[in-house]
Amino acid sequence: MAKKNYLKRGFKAKAERISNKFRAELGLEFNQPLCGFELAKHLNIEVMSPEILGLDNQQLDVLMGNSKESSGWSALTMTNYNDKKIIIHNTRASEARQQSDLMHELAHIICEHEIVVPKGVVLPSYMRYYDRNQEAEAEYLGSALQLPRECLVWALTTGNMSKKEISTNYSASLQMVNYRINTTGIRKQIKYIRA
């Protein structure tokens, strides 16, 4: 069964343009890695560790890992009392996972997604619920910020990088590299370039 596409027509191209725009604003070449922490700083969004929540070590272990009851939690975006967005993320995750999580949360902010709470669902004030369309947009834009299509084509052709080298160079998991290759439709383009 095919996975339903929740992206609006033209969103993928828009996401690639947004990624290129932020690279240019930060003085990066199109094929240079974009750090989620640097992008957050550029957007004036503070990134914090969950330690600021005042949890003890056992609670932190459950939240971030190192515990049988670990939640597998990654990151969340909150609005503070000054109406400023902040991101709290799992500092125990791998560097690639932290980058991916940050880019996903930043994508929600860049897209100006609104928190939607379905009727009958009660969430604590710090939790968020995005609909499927918003999650699909954040997933695609977040991955485009981390590994833009143009950059990926360059890495696989001119840069002659393996997937592992791309993963290392761009602080992305191999799963992310494969996801981007599959969702950008560049396989045929790369075959044509190499031919």
**At residue 24, does pLDDT exceed 80?**
yes
Question: Is 193 part of any domain?
Answer: no
For the record, the structure tokens of 187 come out as: 């396989």
Question: Is 1 part of any domain?
Answer: no
To the nearest whole number, what is the mean pLDDT of the chain? 84
User: Lowest-confidence range among 18-32, 65-79, 100-114, 177-191?
Assistant: 65-79
User: Which H or E element spans position 2?
Assistant: none
Give the structural domain span for 37.
Answer: 11-146
pLDDT of residue 68: 52
Residue 75, strand partner residues: 89
* Mean pLDDT to the nearest integer, 136-146: 96
pLDDT of residue 142: 97
Which alpha helices (DSSP H) does 56-119 contain, by range?
57-64, 95-110
Please tell me whether residue 86 adopts helix, strand or coil conformation. strand
More confident: 164 or 89: 164
Q: For the sheet containing 85-89, what is the strand order?
A: 46-48, 85-89, 75-79
| Distances from the Cα of 72 to the Cα of 58, 64, 122, 174, angstroms | 15, 6, 22, 19
Question: CB within 8 A of 56, min separation 6: which ones?
Answer: none
Question: Is 134 part of any domain?
Answer: yes
CA 140/CA 147 separation, integer angstroms: 10
Question: Is 166 part of any domain?
Answer: no
Question: Is 3 part of any domain?
Answer: no
> pTM for the complete prediction?
0.84
**At residue 32, does pLDDT exceed 90?**
yes
pLDDT digits (tens, 9 = 90+) for 39-76: 999 999 999 887 777 767 777 676 666 645 545 678 88
pLDDT of residue 120: 55
Question: Is 81 part of any domain?
Answer: yes
More confident: 65 or 121: 65
User: Lowest-confidence range among 98-112, 124-138, 152-166?
Assistant: 124-138
The total number of structural domains that make up the chain: 1
Question: Is 105 part of any domain?
Answer: yes
Question: Is 191 part of any domain?
Answer: no
